[in-house]
Amino acid sequence: VILTNKEKGLKIWSETQTDVPMSFEVNPALPRFFFATQKRKDGKHFLVDAFCTDGGGIPRNVIISSGFSLVKLGALSLQEFVFKSSYSATRLYGLKNKGHFSPGADADITIIDFERQKPIHSFVEGKEVLVDGCVKGQGGKFITTQEGLSACKEYEIEPYLIDIKDIFSYRTERFAKNQ
């Protein structure tokens, strides 16, 4: 997969009769900045509650590097960064045991070098998966509802079971607060 611009990409795409994997810069900086930092009229709640990233053909996981740039710029507080990258993001997926330090939580922790804006160590469910910036973990879990458990079993994928009601209750609660 190559990263290219639209002119060069169209030329390659035509020359290969569309048989080429490629990727483009699709989100200009100004809208990304706006949607990452903009708050609703109440001044407390974000227009967009969580960060997301692209794990496509050329993974662009820039939540930490871009998010810390916003913190250093003063566009977000460190607490707002944590809210958008951890707590709110996990609630939007119905992951009640993640994104917070509370009794019974899964103990997912990432240690970040603030100056270099890079993750250094990471622990998932208390197990070390990133050491000195290098991935050491293996495997993973598939986030699913009760309806997906049989497919996980069939394909021998460990499930992380969620209840769709938790997703709706968080979104309904956030919507009610934002009115």
And the tokens for 55?
A: 């794990």
pLDDT above 90 covers what percent of the chain?
A: 46
- Residues 19 and 66 occupy one common structural domain: yes
- Asked if pLDDT for residue 58 goes beyond 80, the answer is no
- Residues 92 and 9 occupy one common structural domain: yes
Q: Spell out the alpha helix ranges (H) of the chain.
A: 6-15, 29-37, 63-73, 78-82, 88-92, 149-154, 164-177
CB 72 within 8 A of CB 141: no
- Asked if pLDDT for residue 141 goes beyond 80, the answer is yes
- Residues 25 and 53 occupy one common structural domain: yes
pTM for the predicted model, two decimal places = 0.79
pLDDT above 70 covers what percent of the chain?
A: 91
* Residue listed under structure tokens 């598939």: 142
Average pLDDT, the chain: 87
In terms of pLDDT, which residue wins out, 29 or 152? 152
Identify the pLDDT of residue 54.
Answer: 66
Query: Phi, psi at residue 85, to the nearest 5°?
Result: -90, -20
- Residues 16 and 27 occupy one common structural domain: yes
* Among candidate residues 48, 68, 99, the one where a domain is terminated: 99
And the tokens for 91?
A: 């609630």
The number of folded domains in the chain is 3
